Amino acid sequence: MVGWQHQLNGPAKKNVQLENIMGRKTILLLIVGVLGAYYVYTPLPDNIEEPWKLMWVTTCLKTMTHLCHFAELLGISHFMDIARFFMSIQEVPPTSDENVTVMETTFNNVPVRIYLPKRKSETLRRGLFYIHGGGWHMGSAAFFDIDFLSRRTAVILDAVVISTNYRLAPEHHFPSQFEDVYNALKWFLNQDVLDKYSVDPERIGISGESAGGNLAAAVTQQLIDDPDVKIKLKTQSLIYPALQCLDLDLPSYRENSNLGLTKSFVARLWSGYFTTDRSLEKAMFFNQHVPVESSHLFKFVNWSSFLPEKFRKGHFYKSPTYGNSKLAKKYPGFLDVRAAPLLADDNRLRNLPLTYVITCQYDILRDDGIMYVTRLQNAGVRVTHNHIEDGFHGALVYRGFKIGYRIEKQYMSWLSENL
């Protein structure tokens, strides 16, 4: 009997051990599942269209950011080098199709991609000079989303589209990006070049999104005072642009720092535009980078004066904490109007062309664009402000989102009527 009991107890013990192992695995899977759900889940406003699609994109961006941080921490490579590696899979060759001829060349040694409609035209065409985004560190005219938008612009508007590249940080700092875009634009505005591509000199516009919107606004301002440029722009289109880095405590920063762009990442992009010295990034994050001798510049970015009530509601303006003068002396770029177009005075603004500005409610850069709209209107510039109540940063160029097609339709419609 005892031996028989031992024979039964052996398998029974194994079953108990197996159940314990399975129980521990189940608990481990539950923990991993909960942590995974916590990582993937991003609280979104109720009026966001296709929330799970946006949550997935946000998770991918979050994962890429964490991997880049980890690789940089291990000393493998610079954060932006890893980010560019991940993003390079988006690049597509300059392939012509039945509607558009696509080619690559250089304008004043700056690489550009040109889109020429194939349909026959008896008149000169519109011209649109487009500048991609990417925080001055990333991006390319060859990225699929940028290439796709440029093709559609050329076809829908029957326009010649010049999509420019420019040198990127951290290898190249301000004003390299500005200079590349400005030199390419000036080349395009040469009458001989316009004749070559059959572009009407009276129907030329500039457009850019995010950091590209920054560069578009900056070069458009610079063009006003350039005696060497006889042909001027008819329109400028700024798509959720970054326009100042003096104050990173705007209401839009307080409200939207957890969706898409974060305040820490924006501080890194802005500071990296000027230097690899991380002390500027830290000072920017805490809003302690502007020296007292530059305090007069805050009158151009005081959101309590330039934001409409609906965007100020529930927020109180906090007077700036002035920073160390050493940073401004070492890296004066962040106080330069060519880097921060919102710092331009009214005398310069009043001569700007017809303007279209897109801002998104759930974008950390929202208030930059809105303040620029107010300042342009105060200076007498004709401005169309398209505020997307359910929009987020990058909405136009994220393919596959319904909101992207809606914004694109509005953008194309405005260009069709005004360019």
Structure tokens, 383 = 């401005």
Structure tokens, 213 = 């919107």
Whether 264 is a known active-site residue: answer no
Closest CA to 242 of 146, 360, 149: 360
* Spatial distance between the Cα atoms of 53 and 368, rounded to a whole number of angstroms: 27
Are the C-beta atoms of residues 410 and 360 closer than 8 Å to each other?
Answer: no
* Catalytic residue of the set 147, 180, 247, 363: 363
DSSP code for 60: H
* Spatial distance between the Cα atoms of 374 and 376, rounded to a whole number of angstroms: 5
Are the C-beta atoms of residues 263 and 254 closer than 8 Å to each other?
Answer: no
Residue keyed to tokens 């079953």: 15
What lies within 8 Å, CB to CB, of 387 at 6+ separation is: 358, 359, 360, 361, 370
Phi, then psi, of 97 in degrees rounded to 5: -135, -165
* Catalytic residue of the set 132, 137, 173, 393: 393
Whether 363 is a known active-site residue: answer yes
- Give the count of beta carbons closer than 10 Å to the beta carbon of residue 191: 11
Coil, helix or strand for 239? strand
* Catalytic residue of the set 210, 237, 252, 294: 210
Structure tokens, 104 = 């690559």
Largest CA distance in the chain: 110
Omega before 43 within 30 of 0, i.e. cis: no
* Spatial distance between the Cα atoms of 23 and 151, rounded to a whole number of angstroms: 56
Structure tokens, 130 = 């487009």
Whether 393 is a known active-site residue: answer yes
Catalytic residues: 210, 363, 393
